[in-house]
Amino acid sequence: MMLRYIALKRLFLRSQNLIYGFLGFVMVLVAWDLLTRTGLVDPFFISSPGRTWNALLDEVGRGTMMKDLAATAGSFGAGLAIAIVIGVPLALLTAWFKYIEYVVDPFFWFLYNVPKLAFYPLFIIWLGLGTPTIVALTALFAVFPIFANTFTGVREVNPLFLIAARSFGAHQWQLFARVVLPAAAPVILAGVRLGIGRGMVGVIIAEMFGATAGLGFRMNYSASLLRTSEYFAPLVVVVALGLLIDQLLRVVERKVGRWNQT
Amino acid sequence: MTAFARRHDRVMVGALAVLCVVAFWELSGRNGWVNPLFTSYPSQVLREGIELMSSPRFPEHARASFLEFAYGFVLGILVGLPLGLILGRFRRLNLIFEPLIMALYVTPRLALLPIIIVWLGIGLYSKVAVVFLGAVFPILINVLTGIKLVDPLWLRAARSYGASELDLFTKVMLPGSLPYIFLGVRLGLGRALLGVIVAEMYVSTVGIGHLIMQAGEIMRTGRLMFLAILVSLLGTALTLGLRSVEGHVIRWGRASDRG
């Protein structure tokens, strides 16, 4: 009896974070449900958990959810790929060559401080209304954390590693490929995680502003028709995706970073 | 001269690069290498900017954006700071609320824009709400982190010298987490600025974001560029101002930037 109690207690302690966290979500759902059930707030404005669930099932059933997900995922994937392909090499060059840094620096700071959406009308003029603009905006949102982290990662490589490698006769290229890049990998990966978060913001906003499919489009469309349940359904999907991707990347980060405590 | 150049080569090279780009931009627009409708050029940007700023309606737009930003940002600090302190202090509360806060933190909060418009209309209040949502989470989360990372040794030392709970809070935890508090405010500032512009671009009848959208819609690329540059300069100025305040207030360490 005693032993079982101790075992239970240990189980509780170990999963305490999960239990409390779960409790928080349940509390919000219950409060949301009660607000509408008691008639304190008209579900017209805030929907309700049940209505949102039904709207979600409905959108899945009609196939619009898959269509929206595919559109958002496509734009997001393309934007992120562009951001990585541009951001990582540029940051590596910038961190490695002093003069490139001096040249890139002012432009980087200028662009870093602009609310990126200010470029949206410009992209519309350049690329037209539609997917290319959405992809471009996603890339623009995602590229900055990726660039900044890659730069920092290369700059903060332990100088002892460099001295050691050099004293064993490593060339510039070997130094770069064998020492700097692996040492900076965890920080670069953290940048990609941040970039994914920013890229999600970019893709959703861009779709809200002008698209014909996608989760952001669906939210904008439903809200402008005052169909709150149909607005909340894609929002729930966006939140769930955000959490899922974030957790997934944290696991990957831990795996990559294990041998190198930075 | 060469010694001077060597010492300041960061600034010199940077300025030279900017100058080259600006010159090339000007030439490409003037000589029609690129259609100025797409990229404009610096002298046109400047001309349209002056024209815009001297128009009688401009102060009204600037004032609207400023108010939305100020109300939302101050509200974000007023809510984020105490809430972060409380959650950082009481472990159980933190365990319940942290996952919720993290869920909202990783959510693109600007996705809430459509529903906020439904709730609060297209005027001042919806913009304030968007700015608030942008600012409050970075502040809240960094305050929370700061409190958690206060060295337990300091707490034990203070306690063993007979510090009360209140002393512990005001004299150890608060100053100890100050670097993170500032970091949170700085990150919140950027998000708040983005919030103002996005919310005004989404739906509005007044404000800098509204002007940006309008300039895009009527293809006044020069005016658009000018407004983008203006907002960027504002953001940079605010960030630098905050950094200098930070430098004066804390001398014992600054949390490094994240995201």
- Span A225-251, average pLDDT: 89
pLDDT-derived band at B92 (thresholds 50, 70, 90) equals: confident
Listed in sequence order, the residues at least 6 apart from A58 whose beta carbon sits closer than 8 Å to its beta carbon are: A233
Residue B63 has pLDDT above 70, yes or no: yes
pLDDT of residue B223: 93
Q: Is B224 on the interface with A (CB under 8 A)?
A: yes
Contact yes or no for B243/B104 (Cβ under 8 A)? no
- The verdict on A74 touching B (C-beta cutoff 8 Å) is no
Tell me the torsion sign for CA atoms B215, B216, B222, B225.
Answer: positive
Interchain proximity B10–A102, CB inside 8 Å: yes
In angstroms, the separation between the Cα of residue A136 and the nearest Cα of chain B is 16
**Contact yes or no for A116 and B194 at CB 8 A:** yes
Q: What is the mean pLDDT of residues A235-246?
A: 88
> Is it the case that residue A232 has pLDDT exceeding 90?
yes
| The two structure tokens encoding residue B148 | 């958690």
User: What pLDDT is stored for residue A176 in this prediction?
Assistant: 86
**Whole-angstrom Cα distance, residue B83 to residue B170?**
15
The pLDDT, as a whole number, for residue B52 is: 92
Q: Are B150 and B172 in contact (CB under 8 A)?
A: yes
Q: Read off the pLDDT of residues B141-198 as tens digits, 9 standing for 90 and up.
A: 999 888 888 888 888 888 899 888 888 888 888 888 888 899 999 889 988 998 999 9
With contact defined as beta carbons under 8 Å apart, do B193 and A115 qualify?
yes
Interface contact A248, partner B, CB < 8 A? no
Q: Does A34 touch chain B (CB under 8 A)?
A: no
A9, containing H or E segment: helix A2-14
A224 interfaces chain B, CB cutoff of 8 Å: yes
Tally Cβ neighbours within 10 Å of residue B91.
Answer: 12
Residue that the structure tokens 């039904």 belong to: A54
CB contact under 8 A, A103 and B13: yes
Q: CA A206: distance to chain centroid?
A: 15
> pLDDT grade, residue A227 (50/70/90)?
very high
- Which of A109, A115, A232 is the closest to B231 by Cβ? A115
Nearest to A20 by CA among B90, B144, B133, B81: B90
Q: Scanning every residue of chain A, which has its alpha carbon at the shortest distance from the alpha carbon of B211?
A: A118
Using the predicted structure, report yes or no on whether residue A4 has a pLDDT greater than 80: no
Optimal mutation site among B106, B112, B219, B231, interface A, most CBs of chain A within 10 A: B106
Q: Please report the pLDDT score of residue A259 as a whole number.
A: 56
d(CA B142, CA B130): 19
Among residues 64-123 of chain B, which lie with CB inside 8 Å of chain A? 92, 95-100, 102-103, 106-108, 110-115, 117-119
Q: Average pLDDT of chain A?
A: 88
Q: What tokens appear for A27 in the block?
A: 């509390």
- Token pair of B67, please? 């108010």
Does residue B200 carry a pLDDT above 70?
yes
Quick: pLDDT tens for A95-154.
988 889 899 888 888 888 788 888 899 899 899 888 999 999 999 999 999 999 999 999
Are residues A102 and B14 in contact, defined by beta-carbon separation less than 8 angstroms? Answer: yes
Residues 17-56 of B with CB under 8 A from A: 17-18, 21, 37-38
Highest mean pLDDT among A48-57, A74-83, B166-175, B248-257: A74-83
How far apart are alpha carbons A32 and A214 in whole angstroms? 26
pLDDT at B258: 40
What percentage of chain A reaches a pLDDT higher than 70?
96
**Terminal-residue alpha carbon distance, chain B:** 40
pLDDT band (50, 70, 90) for residue A249: confident
What region does B42 belong to: left with phi over 0, alpha with psi -120 to 50, or beta? alpha
Interface test mutation site (partner A, options B92, B94, B115, max chain A beta carbons within 10 A): B115
Q: Do residues B14 and A109 touch, judged by C-beta distance below 8 A?
A: no
Residue A51's pLDDT is: 92
The distance of Cα A214 from the centroid of its chain, to the nearest Å, equals: 17
For chain A, report the end-to-end CA distance as a whole number of angstroms. Answer: 46
Confidence of residue A15 (pLDDT cuts 50, 70, 90): confident
Q: Is residue B5's pLDDT more than 70?
A: no
Q: Which residue has the tokens 């103002």?
A: B196
Mean of per-residue pLDDT scores for chain B: 87
So what's the pLDDT on residue B251? 64
Count of all residues that appear for chain B in the document: 259
- A148-191, pLDDT tens digit by residue? 999 999 988 888 888 888 888 888 888 888 888 888 888 898 89
Q: How far lies A187's CA from each of A179, A262, B258, in Å?
A: 14, 8, 11
Give contacts of A 104-123 with B, CB under 8 A. Answer: 105-107, 109-111, 113-122
- CA-based torsion, A119, A124, A125, A131: positive or negative: positive
Q: Are A222 and A148 in contact (CB under 8 A)?
A: no
Separation between Cα atoms, residue B247 and residue B101, nearest integer Å: 29
Mutual orientation of helices A120-127 and A131-155 as an angle, nearest 10°?
A: 120
Q: Is ipTM beyond 0.90?
A: no
Chain-centroid distance, C-alpha A30: 28
Count of all residues that appear for chain A in the document: 262
